[in-house]
């Protein structure tokens, strides 16, 4: 059964659900067969591609090298790039200050601290950054089939912390405000936010410095989306849907 799940995951078309299925299947398979070099290498590549747990990637690669020294080529490549990723996290470059009012940012619809839901994959997340258009490599864009999106790579993309513990880079057209805001159980939340305020997260001083106009935008958004509901309102999700439809109407 695990083998079938792995095959389904590997045949997936680069979408979030297929990656999650492949990840879960690999974890299960390697619990049963912890020394399978082929699947260990696949797991290391998957984690590296998704940008999660670089330290775990190094542990996996060391295990592979001990099991099969002939894999030194593939292992060496991944070790080098994983170490570079870790160094970048430890010594990041000075972050760019992004103001929503800038002409090149006028298409950015959402702001840091908003709790969102992915329309296609269904995961819950919180925004901790954004770009006016996709800034990932062409290889990533091709692998993730960004060209199949209605607006492709030429639309705002958001850095989000996901409930499952991963960090994702999501297109604007795939996100929508959550109908019932909830806390996001992610280990990096405290790195970007000072508190959870029932309907949103409050950006810490560092994040507010990077996105100086976002907190005002976030407060306005949650006021419009949630706080205008009266005690007698029976369907918060219906009101939220109406708000979203109004936003989508042409000017």
Note the pLDDT tens digit of each residue in 178-201: 999 999 998 889 989 999 999 999
- Count CB neighbours of 29 within 10 A: 19
Q: Of 57, 73, 151, which is closest to residue 109 (Cα–Cα)?
A: 151
Mean pLDDT within 87-105 = 81
Query: In the Cβ-directed half-sphere of 207, how many Cα atoms lie within 13 Å?
Result: 22
CATH architecture of 103-248: Roll (2.30)
For 179, which DSSP code? S
pLDDT of residue 89: 66
Name the one residue in this structure whose structure tokens are 């849907």: 241
Domain with CATH 1.25.40.10 in the chain: 2-90
Per CATH, which fold does 2-90 belong to?
1.25.40
Q: Give residue-wise pLDDT tens across range 146-181.
A: 999 999 999 999 999 999 888 889 999 999 999 999
Cite the beta strand spans of the chain per DSSP E.
115-118, 124-131, 157-162, 167-171, 175-177, 193-196, 201-203
Considering the entire predicted model, what is its pTM?
0.62
Q: Binning pLDDT at 50, 70 and 90, where does residue 43 land?
A: confident
Q: Give residue-wise pLDDT tens across range 228-237.
A: 644 444 444 4
pLDDT at 247 over 70: no
Domain with CATH 2.30.30.390 in the chain: 103-248
């Amino acid at each position: 059964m695990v083998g079938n799940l792995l095959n389904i995951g590997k045949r997936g078309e680069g979408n979030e659900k297929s990656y999650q299925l492949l990840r879960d299947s690999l974890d299960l398979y390697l619990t049963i067969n912890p020394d399978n070099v082929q699947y260990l290498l696949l797991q290391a590549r998957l984690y590296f591609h998704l940008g999660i747990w670089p330290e775990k990637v190094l542990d996996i690669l060391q295990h592979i090298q001990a099991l099969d020294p002939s894999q030194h080529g593939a292992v060496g490549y991944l070790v080098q790039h994983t170490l570079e990723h870790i160094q970048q996290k430890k010594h990041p470059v000075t972050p760019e200050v992004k103001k929503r009012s800038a002409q090149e940012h006028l298409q950015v619809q959402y702001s840091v601290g908003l709790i969102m839901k992915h329309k296609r994959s269904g995961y819950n997340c919180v925004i901790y950054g954004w770009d006016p258009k996709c800034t990932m490599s062409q290889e990533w864009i091709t692998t993730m089939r960004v060209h199949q999106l209605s607006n492709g790579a030429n639309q705002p993309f958001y850095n989000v912390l996901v409930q499952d513990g991963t960090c994702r880079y999501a297109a604007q057209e795939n996100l929508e405000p959550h109908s019932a805001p909830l806390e996001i159980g992610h280990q990096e939340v405290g790195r970007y936010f000072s508190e959870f305020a029932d309907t949103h997260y409050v950006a810490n001083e560092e994040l507010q410095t990077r996105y100086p106009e976002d907190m005002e935008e976030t407060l306005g958004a949650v006021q419009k989306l949630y706080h205008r509901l009266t005690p007698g309102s029976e369907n918060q999700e219906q009101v939220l849907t109406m708000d979203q439809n109004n936003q989508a109407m042409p000017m």
